[in-house]
């Protein structure tokens, strides 16, 4: 998707220029994402540095405060959502939208872990939301125009549904995937569904 590339958040993660420093920075973001998901906002910074394979001094050079780390993890997730929209753009419309929604599930998990630590009134938070919608909504519109997705569901409806589903406790990952699949089936327009309905209606009329 070259001409219609999804916009990035205006407040972007500022990565170091040197390749080795950039690797450490990204390793710290990945480690922080995992640690926050497992232990919440009180996750140990020393543990995050250990997971990333760097010293605590390297962590503080990149993220002087815990809030800097929260914000960078969140913006990094939104950046990945924007990139994901570009990466799936050449898939068939329904497949592209579902692939993006599955990436959105990962974003929800990270956001939930650090939600209370984010300033929801900040320019960063607002710009990230705008960028996320700008990335994902065209994929839904494309699926709707192709006749693959319900036309009566808007983007915000679907994100709220997926967020609600992923907030629920599940017995295991298989159950979560099954429930998510059921929800996505409810969004999909299937030709045979309309055809079956028409046939049943015709049979009913003939029966009378």
* pLDDT band per the 50, 70, 90 thresholds, residue 83: very high
Of 98, 77, 92, the C-alpha closest to 158 is: 98
- pLDDT (tens digit, 9 = 90+) per residue, 100-150? 999 999 899 889 889 889 988 888 899 999 999 999 999 999 999 999 999
Kind and range of the H or E run holding 53? none
What pTM does this model have? 0.80
CA 142 to chain centre: 18
- Cα separation of 112 and 164, whole Å? 11
- pLDDT (tens digit, 9 = 90+) per residue, 165-187? 888 778 888 888 899 999 999 99
CA trace torsion 203, 147, 90, 82 (10° rounding): -130
Most confident of 51-55, 115-119, 126-130, 191-195: 51-55
- Cα separation of 52 and 39, whole Å? 16
Average pLDDT in the chain: 86
Domains of the chain: 19-207 (1.10.357.10)
């Amino acid at each position: 998707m070259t001409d219609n590339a999804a916009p990035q958040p205006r407040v972007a993660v500022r990565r170091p220029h040197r390749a080795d420093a950039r690797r450490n920075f990204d390793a710290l973001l990945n480690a922080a994402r995992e640690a926050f998901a497992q232990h919440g906002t009180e996750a140990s910074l020393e543990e995050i540095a250990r997971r990333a394979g760097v010293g605590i001094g390297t962590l503080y050079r990149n993220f002087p405060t815990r809030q800097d780390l929260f914000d960078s993890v969140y913006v990094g997730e939104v950046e990945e959502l924007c990139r994901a929209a570009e990466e799936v753009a050449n898939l068939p419309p329904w497949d592209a939208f579902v692939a993006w929604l599955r990436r959105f599930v990962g974003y929800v998990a990270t956001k939930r872990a650090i939600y209370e630590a984010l300033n929801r009134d900040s320019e960063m938070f607002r710009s990230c939301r705008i960028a996320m919608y700008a990335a994902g909504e065209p994929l839904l519109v494309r699926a709707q125009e192709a006749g693959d997705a319900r036309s009566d569901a808007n983007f915000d409806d679907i994100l709220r549904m997926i967020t609600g589903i992923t907030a629920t406790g599940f017995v295991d990952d298989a159950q979560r995937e099954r429930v998510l699949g059921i929800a996505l089936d409810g969004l999909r327009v299937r030709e045979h569904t309309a055809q079956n309905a028409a046939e049943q209606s015709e049979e009913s009329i003939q029966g009378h």
